[in-house]
Amino acid sequence: MNWDDMKVFLAIAACGGLKKAATQLGVHHTSVARRIKAFESDLGVKLFDRLPSGYALTQAGESLYQSAQTIRQEFNAIESELSGKDLRLEGDICLTVPHGFALNLLMPDLQEFIEHYPGLNLKIDMRYSMSDLANREADVAIRLVNEPADSLAGRRVCKTHWAAYASENYLASHDPNKHPTECHWLGWGKAHNHLSWAQKELFPDIPVRGDMYSDVLQLAAVKQDFGIASLPCFIGDQTPGVRRVTDADSVARDWIWILSHKDMASNARVRVLVDFLYQALLKKVDLIEGRR
């Protein structure tokens, strides 16, 4: 039994479909379909029912899934224990970070990091969801979270601050105070999330339009005069042609954490990256907290 085939099986079982599993594995979905079909053929059992809604585990698949989960946990524990003792400042290290932090805040610092540590090969994975640090999908994560999981270790920096922003061109022809219904907020995810936007309560009569689930996408829309967006201050305050809609104080949101799995906390590569990012973010606290 090939462990690489088992990884494909686990990915499909976790994602419930070929395309999501392929994205997780970093391969094309046709390759995933071919691999799982060959795996079932080798085992002589059907592992999934192919349904219109996705791939569902059969009884045999459920049994294999439970065993495979146990095996994977043991492999990860062994790998983490060995990696945690690695004292070399060379090799690969993966950082997962939200889009806005990578593109609007930390890119100059990350360039400095790779210059300072030429033996390290830094992989940057931009995403909002928490990568599975236990399964080594990433080594270090920058995340906005108030209470990290008990399995994670890291350093807490400061809270992000948010405010309402629009382009100068948009505000020249739209008055949120006098004519709120002629303006609109840029939608961000599910409708109930709109109630928690920073400073939305200051403009309760402005309608919501669109759905742009990304701070980078929201910023691009604001720059093109789409409307008003609730954005992190470190993005809005340093973008030319964009300004705050109101002079009210910015709103504190989640804490910024730099995290790794506890088993990897003593790894030299992880340690230097966590410490480097912590110092880099400390220098930007005024910007992050909206003190312009």
> 149-166 pLDDT, tens per residue?
888 889 999 999 999 999
- CB burial of residue 22 (10 Å; 0-12, 13-18, 19+): buried
Three-state secondary structure call for residue 120: strand
Q: How confident is the model at residue 5 (pLDDT cuts 50, 70, 90)?
A: confident
Percent of the chain residues past pLDDT 90, beyond the cut: 48
Reported as a pLDDT band with limits 50, 70 and 90, residue 132 is: low
Residue 199 clears pLDDT 70, i.e. is over it: yes
Residue 149: what pLDDT?
A: 86
Instruction: Please state, in angstroms and rounded to a whole number, the distance separating the CA atoms of residues 126 and 135.
Output: 17
Q: What is the pLDDT of residue 213?
A: 82
Burial group, residue 210, by CB count within 10 angstroms (0-12, 13-18, 19+):
middle
Between residues 24 and 2, the one the model is more confident about? 24
Kindly report, residue by residue over 93-129, the tens digit of the pLDDT. Answer: 999 999 999 999 999 999 999 999 999 999 998 876 6
Residue whose C-alpha is closest to residue 154's, from 264, 282, 253, 284: 264
Interaxial angle between packed helices 107-116 and 268-282, expressed in degrees from 0 to 180 and rounded to the nearest 10:
140
Cα–Cα nearest to 142, from 134, 151, 150, 152: 152
- Tens of pLDDT, residues 250-277: 999 999 999 998 888 878 899 999 999 9
pLDDT tens column, 51-89: 888 899 999 889 888 888 887 777 666 565 555 555 567
Q: What structural domains and CATH numbers belong to the chain?
A: 3-84 (1.10.10.10), 91-158+253-287 (3.40.190.10), 160-252 (3.40.190.10)
Average of per-residue pLDDT values in the chain: 87
What DSSP string runs through 98-148?
-HHHIIIIIHHHHHHHHHH-TTEEEEEEE-SS---TTTTS-SEEEEE-SS-
Q: Per-residue pLDDT tens for 174-194?
A: 999 899 999 999 988 776 666
Q: Please tell me whether residue 59 adopts helix, strand or coil conformation.
A: helix
In terms of DSSP H, where are the helices of the chain? 3-15, 18-25, 29-43, 59-84, 99-101, 107-116, 168-173, 215-223, 233-236, 268-282, 285-288
Strand 140-144 versus strand 91-97 pairing type: parallel
Output 113 or 195, whichever has higher pLDDT. Answer: 113
Query: Measured between alpha carbons, how far is 23 from 103 in angstroms, rounded to an integer?
Result: 22
